[in-house]
């Protein structure tokens, strides 16, 4: 889907970079606890600086910062968070097995770049995060995002989501939420909202300002479950030029009630 295309684009853009370990990882955890029926977790922070940073501030040298939650006794969920984080800006197109390894490869890429371009006054940046944005006894929703700069006209940013069924211990897909054969009706509802948001008529062409395949509106699979509806998120370059930024599309439950399966994690939001 479009999400995969975006990741491939980012990976190719930075494929020239290779990989050295910087200073030892500085990690710190701040306890964050939910109520007794929610998943407990602590935030972990990795903050690494390139060897040539010296006394320079973080804003003037190559630095990697990553902050993410580690859930107590939830290996499957933790692995999912790690895959998302390390997929954001994967240099070789494949996510690393750990955030620490991703950090090591990022700093090595910068070291290799400086060896080849010693006179070029430029530094890299990687600032990524995962954070819990919704949590109750049946649902944990996380936002995973970040920004990187590794040369070129501008950096790259990306945002993705994990909607986790706490009781089933699995990531929630659209098929988990919607009845069979929901696709076309959901897309039609979404397109109506999209065109209204974009101030487009029902018949206006999508060819000029958008990147939809065959110039036909389509949803991606990058969404978050919210109390108001299902929120889809399109990253930069996904359906619009870089300068146009990102696009958020909220589909209220009131407009898709008939498409939703009963007794799912969104049932509590439907009145």
Q: What is the pLDDT of residues 200-209, one digit of tens each?
A: 999 999 999 9
Q: Which domain holds residue 216?
A: 174-269
- The model carries a pTM of 0.84
Q: Give me the mean pLDDT over the 217-223 stretch.
A: 98
Q: Domain count of the chain? A: 2
Q: Are 207 and 263 in a shared domain?
A: yes
Q: Are 166 and 221 in a shared domain?
A: no
Q: Are 64 and 126 in a shared domain?
A: yes
Boundary residue ending a domain (143, 171, 199): 171
Helices (H) and strands (E) in the chain, counts: 6, 10
Residue of 11, 40, 16 whose CA lies nearest to 132:
40
Q: What is the CATH number of the domain that holds 68?
A: 3.30.565.40
Q: Are 189 and 261 in a shared domain?
A: yes
5-25: per-residue pLDDT in tens? Answer: 444 444 444 333 333 333 333
Boundary residue ending a domain (171, 199, 230): 171
- Residue 147 pLDDT > 70: yes
Q: Give me the mean pLDDT over the 45-67 stretch.
A: 96
- Cα distance between residue 202 and residue 220, in whole Å: 21
- Cα distance between residue 52 and residue 55, in whole Å: 9
Residue of 204, 51, 157, 71 whose CA lies nearest to 114:
51
Q: What is the DSSP string of 169-236?
A: TEE--HHHHB-TT-HHHHHHHHHHHHHHHTT--TT--STTT---GGG-----S-EEE-SSEEEEEE-T
């Amino acid at each position: 889907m479009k999400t995969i295309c975006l990741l491939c684009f980012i990976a190719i853009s930075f494929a020239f970079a290779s990989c050295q370990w910087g200073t030892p990882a500085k990690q710190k955890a701040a306890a964050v606890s939910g109520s007794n029926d929610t998943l407990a977790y602590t935030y972990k922070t990795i903050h690494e600086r390139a060897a040539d940073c010296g006394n320079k501030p973080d804003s003037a040298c190559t630095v990697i910062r990553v902050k993410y939650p580690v859930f107590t006794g939830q290996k499957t969920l933790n692995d999912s968070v790690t895959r998302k984080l390390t997929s954001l800006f994967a240099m070789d197109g494949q996510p690393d097995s750990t955030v620490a390894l991703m950090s090591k490869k990022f700093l090595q890429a910068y070291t290799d770049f400086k060896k080849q371009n010693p006179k070029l006054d430029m530094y890299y940046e990687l600032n990524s995060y995962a954070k819990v944005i919704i949590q109750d006894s049946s649902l944990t929703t996380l936002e995973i995002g970040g920004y990187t700069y590794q040369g070129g006209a501008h950096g790259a940013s990306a945002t993705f989501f994990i909607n986790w069924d706490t009781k089933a211990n699995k990531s929630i897909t659209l098929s988990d939420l919607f009845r069979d054969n929901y696709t076309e009706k959901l897309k039609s509802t979404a397109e109506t909202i999209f065109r209204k948001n974009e101030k487009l008529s029902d018949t206006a062409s999508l060819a000029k300002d958008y990147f939809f395949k065959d110039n036909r509106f389509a949803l991606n699979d990058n969404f978050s479950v919210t109390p108001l509806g299902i929120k889809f998120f399109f990253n930069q370059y996904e359906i619009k030029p870089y300068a146009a930024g990102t696009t958020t599309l909220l589909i209220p439950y009131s407009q898709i009630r008939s498409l939703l399966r009963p007794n799912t994690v969104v049932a509590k939001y439907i009145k």
